Amino acid sequence: MQVPPNCDLTLGMVCIDKREPGHTVWRMVADERFANPTGIVQGGFLAAFADSAMGASSLTYARERKVFSANAELKVSFLKPARVGSVLTCTAHVISGGKRAAF
């Protein structure tokens, strides 16, 4: 497994805090590559940023066992535009660890 994964590298994501299990904080610069013609980052890239942050938080949740993480549903509400050059921060926190699978 490649760490960090290619999706995080493509977005330019950097983890700035992972001290607490199940909680991570990420930063990325709103790059021109992800912008529409008006200079606003396309929502799919912002959703990908959130999705990657959530996946990383789930992997830090249970450090004593192997964790598998998949996103079944994602809803994003955009409150204000992310303009090119902005520094974006995403905080992800595990709310529930789910059930332990028996193999």
pLDDT in tens, 88-97: 999 999 887 7
pLDDT band at residue 5 under the 50/70/90 scheme? confident
Instruction: Report the pLDDT value the prediction gives residue 87, as an integer from 0 to 100.
Output: 97
pTM, 2 dp = 0.84
Q: What is the distance between the alpha carbons of residues 83 and 50, in angstroms, rounded to a whole number?
A: 17
Of the chain, the percentage scoring pLDDT greater than 70 comes to 84
Q: Which has the higher per-residue pLDDT, 69 or 43?
A: 43
- Comparing C-alpha atoms, which of 53, 44, 40 is closest to residue 13? 53
Instruction: Report the pLDDT value the prediction gives residue 58, as an integer from 0 to 100.
Output: 84
